[in-house]
Amino acid sequence: DVKVTQSSRYLVKRTGEKVFLECVQDMDHENMFWYRQDPGLGLRLIYFSYDVKMKEKGDIPEGYSVSREKKERFSLILESASTNQTSMYLCASSLSQIPSNYGYTFGSGTRLTVV
């Protein structure tokens, strides 16, 4: 089974700090994604990447950046954390565009609190 591992389950950071959220997948998936999950809003796409060093903005990229230096690792960066970025962050990966794709595989999430 594909595993998507997020390095931290819980994080508490101060306003203004630079925050790194790490995600690693072990099945050579080309596509990786960062979502945030908030009550009543579902999952909203922040950024995604379909290849090494490639990145695309999702629906809510403001205040975030990403890095994909290696195929298996996709990092989400909060340049200057703010309290409205307190959320659950989910990483996901998927195979490339083939009909038999089974959707995404999600990591277990990182609950970030910015104080």
Q: Does 27 bind other proteins (CB under 8 A)?
A: no
Binding pattern for the stretch 85-114 against other proteins, x by CB under 8 A and - elsewhere: -----x-x-x--x-xxxxxx-xxxx-----
Q: Does 60 bind other proteins (CB under 8 A)?
A: no
Residues 94 and 35 sit within 8 Å (Cβ to Cβ): no
Residues 106 and 84 sit within 8 Å (Cβ to Cβ): no
CA 57 to CA 66: how far, in whole Å?
Answer: 9
CA 81 to CA 34: how far, in whole Å?
Answer: 16
Q: Does 48 bind other proteins (CB under 8 A)?
A: yes
Closest contact distance (angstroms) between CB of 14 and other proteins is 27
Looking at beta carbons only, is 27 or 79 nearer to other proteins? 27
Looking at beta carbons only, is 108 or 113 nearer to other proteins? 108
Q: Does 44 bind other proteins (CB under 8 A)?
A: yes
Closest contact distance (angstroms) between CB of 108 and other proteins is 4
The DSSP code sequence of 57-102 is E-S--TTEEEEEEETTEEEEEESS--GGG-EEEEEEEE-SS-TT--
Task: Give the pair of three-digit tokens for residue 65.
Answer: 């950046």
What residues line the site for other proteins (CB under 8 A)? 31, 33, 35, 40-45, 48, 50, 58-59, 90, 92, 94, 97, 99-104, 106-109
